[in-house]
Structure 1
Amino acid sequence: MTLRRTLLVLAAAASLTAPAAMGAPDVQAAAQALLTAYAAGDRDRVADMVSHGSLHVYGSDVAEVTSGRDGFLGTLAADHKLWGQGAAFGAMRNVSIEKDGDLASLFFDTAFTVQGRTVPIRFATVWRLEKGRWKLVQCSNVVPTVGQSAADILKTMAKPAP
């Protein structure tokens, strides 16, 4: 077999075995679009980006636990009423994505700014590919501490008393 024919056979085999998810939309872009719509209070756009089936969201307050689209959209309405205009999420950092078939997990940190105050937020999300689009099915977010890691606390404990 010639080199050219070998390369053609290998290319054909690779295209047959490529995972279906390779042609799928970008889950990170879907998440960024959802954050933008959420910060803007765009109820219809947010509703279109979350699963029509199972949806579970855990907010940064222990009382913020919702199941289903209506519960999540209720949290959106309360958040937007509290924030008013001008809320924004920054770029994603520390991004971790894992995909398997029609499911993807996306973990990331971002900055959230509202009323002149910026706080870090850490998200852990799960997405399902539904009709060719990534839809949110699970989300948990926290406002992480700064300077309160075990290593930081141990450093302060190791300092001798004056």
Structure 2
Amino acid sequence: MRHTTLAGLILAFGALAIGGPGRAQDAVLPAGTKAPAFTTRTISGAPLSMQSLRGKVVLMDFWATWCGPCRMATPTLQSLHKKFAAKGLKVIGVSIDDPNTLDQVKPFMKTAGVTYTISATPASNMKAAQKYNVSGIPAMFLIDKKGYVRWSQAGYGEGEEAGLSVMIKKLLAEKA
């Protein structure tokens, strides 16, 4: 049953990802919503939770190695991480790869030059995706220091870095 549910969710994510950027826009958790709590592990095995991120601005991306738009978004996420990590931004890639493709995460990170935090724990990441109403990937959430979603989007389009940079600067300037 567990594998059937996981496989069904992965097929649903894949179908929506193929649909293109922004098609599932209304499905993600909207701005102004308290970011749901979740606990997972980073790819290196360290614990990661929304509670541990309190007081930081977080750009969270639900993605998978097999998702073309997710791969297109990776350079933007890496660039934002490089620009703002020292100022307090935490970029987190929440992989929804299934156990059959999980072994592709580390090689992809290396090839793409990813240095931001990646979580690759299938069961807990799928639970987190459900809590965030993720129905298509990539799905991104910008979360403020108080733990509220300030921007969310399903899909990815070229040229989004400038707008995200403006929003991130604004959130970093706010008090916790």
TM-score, scaled relative to structure 1 = 0.23
Q: Which has the higher strand share?
A: 1
Between structures 1 and 2, the one with greater helix share: 2
Higher relative contact order (CA 8 A, sep 6+): 2
